[in-house]
Amino acid sequence: MTAVDQLEAVLSITNTGAGEVLHSVPTAGETRFTWDYAKGERPALEKLYEKAKTSQWNGATDLDWSADVDPERVAREMAAGDYRSKFVQSLVRQPGSPVSSWTDREWGRFTVESFAWRISQFLHGEQGALLCTAKIVETVPWIDAKYYAATQVMDEARHVEVFGRYLDSKLESRYPINAHLSQLLDDILVDSRWDMTYLGMQIMVEGLALAAFGTMHQATQEPLLKKLLRYVMADEARHVAFGVLSLKEVYEGLSAAEILERQEFAFEAAIRMRDRFLQQEVWERLGVDVRRMVRALLELPAEENVFQQMLFSKIVPNCRKLGLLDAADGWLRRKFTEIGIIGFEFGADTGEEYAALDEVARDRDTPAAV
Question: How many Å apart are CA 58 and CA 128, to the nearest integer?
Answer: 20
Output the domain CATH number for residue 280.
Answer: 1.20.1260.10
Which contiguous run of DSSP H or E holds residue 250? helix 223-251
Q: What is the CA radius of gyration of the chain?
A: 20
DSSP 8-state symbol, 70: -
Is the Cβ–Cβ distance between 25 and 123 less than 8 Å?
no
The number of distinct structural domains making up the chain is 1
Q: Of 211-215, 246-250, 350-354, which range is least confident?
A: 350-354
Amino acid letter, residue 264? E
Residue-range definition of the domain harbouring residue 302: 58-360
pLDDT tens for each residue of 15-47? 777 778 899 998 888 999 999 999 889 999 999
Could you tell me if residue 139 is inside a domain? yes
Q: In the structure, how many helices (H) and strands (E) does the chain have?
A: 17, 0
Q: Residue 304: its pLDDT value, please?
A: 59
Quote the pLDDT of residue 4.
54
In a domain, 332, yes or no: yes
pLDDT of res. 159: 98
So what's the pLDDT on residue 147? Answer: 97
The full DSSP string for 212-240 is HHHHHHHH---HHHHHHHHHHHHHHHHHH
Q: Is residue 135 predicted with pLDDT exceeding 90?
A: yes
Question: What backbone phi and psi angles, to 5 degrees, belong to 65?
Answer: -75, -5
Question: In this structure, what are the phi and psi dihedrals at residue 80, rounded to the nearest 5 degrees?
Answer: -80, -20
Task: Say whether pLDDT at 357 is over 70.
Answer: no
Local confidence band at 243 (pLDDT 50, 70, 90 cut-offs): very high
Say if 368 falls within a structural domain. Answer: no
Query: Which of 349, 207, 346 has its CA nearest to residue 266?
Result: 207
Return the closest-CA partner of residue 270 out of 187, 191, 354, 155.
187
| 102 — pLDDT class (breaks 50, 70, 90) | confident
pTM of the model: 0.90
Q: Check: CB of residue 200 under 8 Å from CB of residue 132.
A: yes
Of the candidates 49, 34, 25, the one whose C-alpha atom is nearest the C-alpha of residue 242 is 49
8 Å CB contact between 258 and 78: no
Task: Work out the pLDDT band at 368, boundaries 50, 70, 90.
Answer: very low
Residue 149 lies in a domain: yes
- Among 261, 280, 281, CA closest to 269: 261
Question: CA 181, CA 276: separation in Å to the nearest integer?
Answer: 6
254 is a domain residue: yes
pLDDT at position 355 is: 59
Neighbours of 41 (CB within 10 A): 12
Domain membership flag for residue 46: no
Strands, DSSP E only, in the chain? none
Residue 129 falls within a domain, yes or no? Answer: yes
List all residues 6 or more positions away from 191 whose beta carbon is below 8 Å from its beta carbon.
28, 29, 197, 200, 265
The yes-or-no verdict on residue 84 having pLDDT over 80 is no
135 near 189, Cβ under 8 Å? yes
pLDDT class for 302, splitting at 50, 70, 90? low
Residues 204 and 271 sit within 8 Å (Cβ to Cβ): no
What does the pLDDT read at residue 76? 87
130 in a structural domain: yes
Residue of higher predicted confidence among 326 and 77: 326
DSSP state of 304: G
* pLDDT value, residue 327: 93
pLDDT tens sequence across 307-348: 666 778 889 999 999 999 999 899 999 999 988 889 889 876
